[in-house]
Structure 1
Amino acid sequence: MAAYLENTLIGLCDEAIERKKTISTFLTSKIGGEPDKIPAVCFRYPSCTVCKSALTHVVQVYCPLDASPYHRTINVFACTNTDCQGKSDGWKVLRSQCLDSDVKLSTGAAGAQQAPHVQPAAPMASTDWCADADDWGVEEEDCCSSTWTTSQTPTVQPSSMAVTESAAADVGSQFQSLSISTTEEDCQPAGPTFQEYYISVVEEGDFTADSGMEHAQDLLREYEEREGASVMELGDSGGGGGGGEEKYEKTEARHGDAVFSGFMKKVSLCPEQILRYCRNGSPLLISKPPLDLEKSVPKCSHCGSGRTFEFQLMPALVSLLCSNNASETELAVEFGTVMVYTCQSSCWKSGLSSPVEECAVVQQDPDQKFFK
């Protein structure tokens, strides 16, 4: 997988998901709403470790790994209580996987039940997350959405995802007859949900220093005026090809180090980015971590493997996390960046039915006003 993802993928907010027109599935990457049903996987809405309140669904990321037979979806949840924001314990990350055969079994269990009257659409190939990735927000208009139910604990086996196009097409066709019954045991959100949007993707390499230079310089000038830190000019100082190391004058900002300056320089090429994906890569830190970040990430509690960085949520996402219904209680989640670490082997074994809990590391925004 690392060979495919040497270049970071950037997630951008796409169009809103209108439930009357389109229905998302676990093959959809999206902001907000409810997590979509994954065949053979059941669980209850997670609770906040700090205040015990039910968490709110923040993002769903469909991220199959190259050369693995599994579909793979990661759901991220957060506590909307003010006292819990900015704390890693107020977040939960759940990874779920399934085989094509699980989809077929779910379809068989549905029996003769009728599927929703929606027009079929071309399914998204699982390799779309790898080298050929160009869109996380494919509209699967033929697919049936539903909430997650309860059950037991997870699984174990190595990773990487590449299902053939014919297999993916077969999965898409199975959804037309897939129906999930709704019972008292079904997992329903305990409170309001965030508005739903598709997530689309571009490669970070598509953004050059020149393409965003004017806006980037404006942002950096504002930062220098506000924080008293001088950042050297963007772009290569001359010379061919490689390097690209970011150098900063030693003047420190009020934040205490130049990490935030580097974060702003990187983000300024695409300020609208809401997610950065680079499995086995390195996160973009918004502030200096108090400890060795990699060593502080716990090993997978299910197989004992180490965890690797997979993706992170970015500040631009904060303003998009609004209540799905204007009449409901207003929701808000504040953060600088949320880094998601997942099992290096992506442990999973077919036949077990609960998602694997992964690790979220939260860094607060040292200057939240800068992004508004």
Structure 2
Amino acid sequence: MASRVRDTLIGLMDGMTNSHQTTFLTNKVGGDPDWPPLIAPQSPRCGVCGAPSAHVVQVYCPLEASPYHRTLHLFACSRSDCSGRSEAWSALRSQSLEPADTSGRPAPHQEAPPPATDWCSSADDWGTVDDGWEEVVEQKVQVQEQTALQTEVSQMDVSRGLQHLSLDESKDINIYRPFFISVVEESDLCEDEDLGHAQELLREYERREGVAVGGLQGASRTEEEKYEKTRARHGDAVFSRFMKTISVCPQQILRYHRGGKSLFVSEPPSNMGQLVPACVSCGGPRTFELQLMPALVSLLQTKEGSSETELEFGTVLVYTCTNSCWSSGSDSAVEEFCFVQADPDQKLFK
């Protein structure tokens, strides 16, 4: 079992990918999914209407002390009447080891991937490919050259798996404009130099909603008690807590805290623990890992600029296998669980 992240990590919109090369090590929104070596591409479909799903988010999230690279891909039906339902979303987890050295020489010592607390740290220079990735690519080519037959068989399997997706249907898959995701620790946003702006945003929300939600981190106990006893104009205390939490950084598009506490935008079902199913691969329990935030909605635009395909959601919570189970040599991603809550006040994020 991987160690828990000590602090919540906040994902923010960064620059467009444009002509920059992206790989499965890249954290990004939109575009085509980048699959790890030897992992067969997958094209999920909406569990509500059956339409092909669009790629929404790609997160590279290796676990501490694990030898595997680890990437999560989130897909969703781009129809607004579907995207607010959990069945319309898919989360696929793929893992891969460093490609093996087939030269006969002893394998060099491999350091474990960075812990989850370093999420996105390898993507500081978005416009270049680091030396480590060049080695991965070079080793991958060597493996492919010496296992041509296996590659051919794998490609045949992929082709059979995609036979249900006709050329006409592929044209209906929306591709969102891709941009990189940068990351900061939530605790860093509460430094004095940033707190003033956050407080101003919070006060603006209070004036608009007619509710006092108290101060941010470092607020007095009196302020906290005032918040706990105050109910929002719409009577939704859960939503008020949600707004208070994100007021430090309203533009956040993603929150990552594997094993941490999820942030609900509205009252969750009383049987939430029972709604999260066991891992489809190993049968073990799942744990919360990340969630998409309302600010992402307005940033999702198709390359054609169509406004008819806008996703609608309050938050999308992703729960993954606690043990992050994986069969060595597997070429198929593992499906994880998404729970979607509608936004009770979507206009606040437009």
Q: Could you state the TM-score of these two structures normalised by the residue count of structure 2? A: 0.81
Q: 1:70 aligns with which of 43, 51, 68?
A: 68
Q: Cα offset for 1:346?
A: 0.6
Q: Which of 15, 33, 47 is the equivalent residue of 1:35? A: 33
Q: 1:59 offset after TM fit, Å?
A: 0.3
Aligned residue in 2 for 1:9: 9
Write the mapping of 1:68-107 to structure 2, written as runs, cut at 5 A: 68-101=66-99
Percent of matched pairs sharing the same residue? 48
> Which runs of 5 or more structure 1 residues have no equivalent in the other structure?
106-124, 144-164
Identify the residue that residue 288 of structure 1 maps to in structure 2: 267
SS in 2 for 1:265: helix
SS state at 2:190 partner: coil
**Local SS of the residue matching 1:248:** helix
Q: 2: CA distance between counterparts of 1:232 and 1:245? A: 6
- Unaligned regions of 5+ residues in structure 2, if any? 103-111, 146-150
The answer on 1:130 being equivalent to 2:106 is no
Counterpart of 2:106 in structure 1 is: none
1:231 Cα offset (Å): 1.6
Q: Relative to 1, partners in 2 of residues 1:66 and 1:3: Cα closer, same or farther, differing over 3 Å?
A: closer
Say if 2:74 and 2:90, in contact at 8 Å, map to a contact too.
yes
The match for 1:261 is 240
Aligned partners of 2:67 and 2:97 also within 8 Å = yes
How far 1:314 moved relative to its partner?
0.9
| In structure 2, distance between residues paired with 1:367 and 1:301 | 34
The one-letter code matched in structure 1 to 2:313 is F
Q: After superposition, give the CA deviation of every residue in 1:125-161 in whole Å (9 maximum; x if it has no partner).
A: 9316434853556537459xxxxxxxxxxxxxxxxxx
Once the two structures are superposed, the pairs formed by residues 217-236 of structure 1 within 5 Å of their partners are 217-236=199-218
* Counterpart pick for 2:136 among 161, 165, 171: 171
Name the aligned partner's letter for residue 24 of structure 1.
Answer: T
Measure, in 1, the Cα distance between the counterparts of 2:193 and 2:243: 16
The one-letter amino acid paired with 1:171 is: V
Relative to structure 1, the CA distance from residue 133 to residue 92 in structure 2 (aligned partners, 3 Å threshold; closer, same or farther) is closer
| Deviating more after overlay: 182-191 vs 340-349 | 182-191
| Deviation of 1:248 (Å) | 1.5
Structure-to-structure mapping, 1:1-372, within 5 angstroms:
3=3, 5-19=5-19, 22-101=20-99, 126-127=113-114, 129-131=116-118, 134=121, 136=123, 138-139=125-126, 141=128, 170-174=135-139, 185=159, 189=170, 190-208=172-190, 210-238=192-220, 248-326=227-305, 330-372=308-350
Indicate the larger mover: 92-101 or 36-45. 36-45
User: Aligned partners of 1:85 and 1:192: how far apart in 2?
Assistant: 13
Q: Is the 8 A contact 1:136 1:201 kept in 2?
A: no
Q: Which amino acid is the alignment partner of residue 126 of structure 2?
A: E
Equivalent-residue separation in structure 2 for 1:235 and 1:44 (angstroms): 42
Distance 1:73 1:235 in 2: 32
TM-score normalized by the length of structure 1: 0.76
Partner secondary structure for residue 99 of structure 2: helix
User: What is the letter of the counterpart of residue 75 of structure 2?
Assistant: F
Greater mean deviation of Cα atoms: 354-363 or 208-217 = 208-217
The CA distance in 2 between the partners of 1:6 and 1:245, in whole Å, is 23
Query: For residues 344 and 245 of structure 1, what CA distance do their matches in structure 2 show?
Result: 33
Partner of 1:159: none
Q: Does structure 1 conserve the Cα–Cα contact (< 8 Å) formed by 2:65 and 2:115?
A: no
How far did residue 302 of structure 1 move? 1.4
Bigger share in helix: 2
Alpha-carbon distance between aligned partners in 2 of 1:128 and 1:275, rounded to the nearest angstrom: 18
Higher mean displacement: 252-261 or 30-39: 252-261
Shift in Å, 1:47: 0.5
Q: Secondary structure at the match of 1:97?
A: strand
3-state SS of 1:127 partner: coil
Q: Is this contact kept in 1: 2:64–2:115, CA < 8 A?
A: no
Superposed displacement of residue 226, structure 1:
3.9
SS at match of 1:126: coil
SS at match of 1:205: helix
Contact 1:278 1:311 in 2 (8 A): yes
Partner SS for 1:370: helix
The number of residue pairs the alignment matches comes to 324
Cα distance in 1 for residues equivalent to 2:97 and 2:119: 21
